[in-house]
Amino acid sequence: MLSIRTFDWSDYDAVVAVWAAAGRAVVPRAELAAKLTRDPELFLVAEDGEVVGVVMGTYDGRRGWILRLAVHPGRRRQGIASALVAELEDRLAELGCPRINLLVMPDNTAGLRFWQELGYLPMPDVLCTKPLAP
Ligand SMILES: CC(C)(COP(=O)(O)OP(=O)(O)OC[C@H]1O[C@@H](n2cnc3c(N)ncnc32)[C@H](O)[C@@H]1OP(=O)(O)O)[C@@H](O)C(=O)NCCC(=O)NCCS
């Protein structure tokens, strides 16, 4: 039976395998450890004997963000991503989050369809970014 639960470090290798199989960039351990100092309850896995999906949420006190959603290619169209996002939305709502943002590559038509199905609508904003010196 599918369960959605908070990430545990013992899940890390399985989560990396799901990200890799889904063609998503892997979050290195050190980066993940830094993220988990905040909102650890917003990093979720879907499991049914093994980890089959993952999603990372953050809340900055004003907006929620959804990052690195992935479902194993062999387990798609079974409602797993929808279940992950529904649980993450519930947890963000409990924190008082009024709105959730996310980024999708423009050529990810399946991803865009998925998000629109769940009510996430495209905005015209352009993402700008700048690395800070270490
Ligand atoms: C996008 C992704 C997370 C969807 O996972 P999933 O578990 O298959 O999604 P769900 O089963 O919950 O799909 C819910 C609905 O979204 C829509 N949807 C999902 N995948 C779709 C696709 N490939 N094409 C069109 N619509 C799709 C459908 O309406 C689907 O309902 P249905 O199966 O009853 O028709 C998965 O395909 C994936 O990991 N892709 C690679 C990584 C990625 O693109 N991540 C998200 C972008 S940031």
The CA-atom distances, in angstroms, between 19 and each of 38, 54, 72, 81, 119 are 21, 8, 8, 13, 24
Q: What is the structure's pLDDT at 125?
A: 94
In the reported structure, the alpha carbon of residue 134 is separated from the centroid of ligand 1 by a whole-number distance in angstroms of: 36
Q: Looking at ligand 1, which residue's alpha carbon is closest to its atom 27? A: 114
Rounded to whole angstroms, the Cα distance separating 25 from 87 reads 23
Q: What is the structure's pLDDT at 106?
A: 93
Rounded to whole angstroms, the Cα distance separating 44 from 5 reads 6
- Asked if 9 and 45 count as a contact pair (C-beta separation under 8 A), the reply is no
Rounded to whole angstroms, the Cα distance separating 104 from 111 reads 7
Q: Looking at ligand 1, which residue's alpha carbon is closest to its atom 47? A: 111
**Sequence-distant (≥ 6) Cβ neighbours of residue 82 within 8 angstroms:** 118
Q: Which fold has domain 3-117?
A: Aminopeptidase (3.40.630)
- Domain edges within the chain: 3-117
Q: What is the structure's pLDDT at 134?
A: 78
- 61-90, pLDDT tens digit by residue? 999 999 999 999 999 999 999 999 999 999
Rounded to whole angstroms, the Cα distance separating 102 from 121 reads 10
Q: What letter does residue 28 receive in the DSSP assignment?
A: P
Instruction: Answer yes or no: is the C-beta of 22 below 6 A from any ligand 1 atom.
Output: yes
